[in-house]
Structure 1
Amino acid sequence: MVKFGYTILYVEDVEKSIEFYENAFGFARKFVSPENDYGELNTGGTTLSFASKNLGVQNLEDGFIESTLEDKPFAIELAFVTDDVGDLVQKATSLGAVLVAEPKKKPWGQVVSYVRDLDGFLIEICTPVEM
């Protein structure tokens, strides 16, 4: 059996990223290493984790492409589901997220907006998909 356990973002400052996601989205801190180079948040079924870019270099000897606000976002996103997209977008941007796309209603009824976090990772904020 395989279970999707973690999404790990390589960030400049683990503590700062943890605090942003706690304050912007209400996730609870699960763990931060004593070295402050790795941390986890309780987000539901899958753990959202952060590792320092320095730890990333140690783990990936050939390096990696860093996420920054100066570059276009990667072709991947985190999606957070809420009943009030506008309020959550406003809260996230007031804490440093950068607005990419205003909330928009999709043809299937879902409301979707996009922001980028402090390190430039793309976040979709959306209502549930109604089937």
Structure 2
Amino acid sequence: MVKFGYTILYVEDVEKAITFYENAFGFSRKFVTPENDYGELSTGETTISFASKKLASQNLSDGFIESSLEDKPFAIELGFITDNVGELVQMATSFGAVLVSEPKQKPWGQIVAYIRDLNGFLIEICTAIPE
């Protein structure tokens, strides 16, 4: 059996990233190393984690493409489901997120908006898909 445990985002400042997600989305801090080079948020069954770029470089000797607000986002996103997309977008942008796309209703009834976090990672904020 395989279980999806976590997604790790490589960031410049783990503490700053954790604090942003706590403030912008209401997640709680699960764990941060004493060196502040790795941390996790309690987000449900699957954890969002953060590793410093320095730690990531130690693990990936050939390097990696860094996320940045100056570049286009990667072809991946984090998806957060909420009952009030507009309110959560407003909260996140008040803590420094960058608005990519205002909330829009999709033909299947779901409301979807896109933002980028402080490190340039793409986040979809949406309602649940109607049954």
TM-score range, shorter chain: over 0.9
Give, as a single letter, the amino acid of the residue that structure 1 aligns with 2:19: E
- Listed as ranges, the gaps of 5+ residues in structure 1 are none
Distance 1:123 1:50 in 2: 15
Give, as a single letter, the amino acid of the residue that structure 1 aligns with 2:111: V
TM-score by length of 1: 0.99
Deviations 1:49-69 (A, max 9, x none): 000000010010000000000
Residue 45 of structure 1: how far off its partner (Å): 1.0
Distance 1:26 1:118 in 2: 16
TM-score by length of 2: 0.99
Deviations 1:28-87 (A, max 9, x none): 100000000000000001010000000010010000000000000000000000000000
Partner of 2:25: 25
Distance 1:129 1:45 in 2: 19
Q: How many percent of aligned residue pairs carry the same amino acid?
A: 79
Distance 1:111 1:45 in 2: 23
Count of matched residue pairs: 131
- Listed as ranges, the gaps of 5+ residues in structure 2 are none
Partner of 2:80: 80
Give, as a single letter, the amino acid of the residue that structure 2 aligns with 1:66: E
Large movers: runs of 4+ above 4 Å: none
Give, as a single letter, the amino acid of the residue that structure 2 aligns with 1:98: V
